[in-house]
Amino acid sequence: MSLLEIKNVCASVGDKEILHDFSLTIGAGEIHAIMGPNGTGKSTLSYVVAGHPAYRVSAGSIMFKGKDLLAMTPDERANAGVFLAFQHPIELPGVTNALFLKTALNAKRRFNGEPDLDAVQYMKRLKARATALGVSDDMLKRPVNVGFSGGEKKKMETFQMAFLEPDLCLLDEMDSGLDVDALKIVSDAVNIMREKHRSFLIITHHERILEHIVPDVVHVMIGGKIVASGDKALAREIDKGGYEKYR
Ligand SMILES: Nc1ncnc2c1ncn2[C@@H]1O[C@H](COP(=O)(O)OP(=O)(O)OP(=O)(O)O)[C@@H](O)[C@H]1O
Ligand SMILES: [Mg+2]
């Protein structure tokens, strides 16, 4: 069964149409990668799925777990299992990582008819994920992304993902700015989270991350739509030859 089904979507920001008749289906348990030149609409795609209010969908449909995603608010989408790790993570002054994650997790649990985690269960889950991803107690006590380095912000986004256990993980250039060790840690987190019910969309400019996280499908996106799909060899080809032949 497909987890995400995007059909013939046209989407704009301001008065500019960015996604043109865009279609993509991701099956449950699959990892898809999207590569494409700057400004081609990759982040736009992730915003449209997550429900960013500035992006208007004028045509097409998006189904998530068989439900009409476009009819859902951004928080309903998140609670239903959509997660976006931003290309440029947002800073939330005054909101600590620990509080942010607890609030987000309990909102999701209530949405799904589950009781809040108690303090002990919460701390256990937080510590386990933090240790695995090399996130210190000090980092958990700091406001979300405020003063974090570029690479640390990316790591914290991955940590949020690991903590919240979403079903659809949209990772927008999660590999940019990461040192080699951090790239390994973040990739390991994705590989550990790989499960039959969980899917990933990895937006990237580099073939390197796909050496760590082996995708089921690689897509090339140009001018707001997918122009080619293949396996890892396609990523290698792009890395060597660029996008010229697809333009
Ligand atoms: N508010 C806006 N008004 C007009 N154009 C916009 C607006 N926001 C984004 N765009 C344009 O939309 C296009 C797609 O942007 P998007 O961020 O989706 O590209 P991308 O494929 O993620 O690029 P990159 O690889 O550089 O991250 C770009 O040309 C961008 O300038
Ligand atoms: Mg982008």
Average pLDDT per consecutive 10 residues, the chain (247 residues; last block may be shorter) = 95 97 98 98 98 97 98 97 96 96 96 94 94 94 96 95 97 95 94 97 96 97 97 96 93
Q: Which atom of ligand 1 is nearest to the CA of 37?
A: 25
Q: What is the pLDDT of residue 165?
A: 96
Q: How many domains does the chain have?
A: 1
Strands 55-64 and 67-68: antiparallel
Q: Kindly identify the ligand whose nearest atom is closest to the C-alpha of 222.
A: 1
Contact by Cβ (8 Å): 54, 13: yes
Between the CA of 61 and the centroid of ligand 2 the distance, in Å, is 22
Q: What is the pLDDT of residue 247?
A: 86
Containing domain of residue 86, as a range?
2-246
Q: What is the pLDDT of residue 59?
A: 98
Q: What is the pLDDT of residue 189?
A: 94
Between the CA of 52 and the centroid of ligand 2 the distance, in Å, is 14
Contact by Cβ (8 Å): 80, 20: no
What pLDDT digit, counting tens, does each position of 39-76 carry?
A: 999 999 999 999 999 999 999 999 999 999 999 999 99
Between the CA of 167 and the centroid of ligand 1 the distance, in Å, is 26
Residue whose CA lies nearest to ligand 1 atom number 11: 39
Between the CA of 42 and the centroid of ligand 2 the distance, in Å, is 5
SS3 211: helix
Q: Kindly identify the ligand whose nearest atom is closest to the C-alpha of 42.
A: 1
Q: What is the pLDDT of residue 122?
A: 93
- What lines the ligand 1 site, CB under 6 Å? 13-14, 16, 18, 36, 38-44, 87
Determine the Cα–Cα distance for residues 103 and 98; give it in Å rounded to an integer: 9
> What's the burial of 94, exposed, middle or buried (CB within 10 Å: 0-12/13-18/19+)?
exposed
Residue whose CA lies nearest to ligand 1 atom number 26: 38
In CATH, what number is assigned to the domain containing residue 14?
3.40.50.300
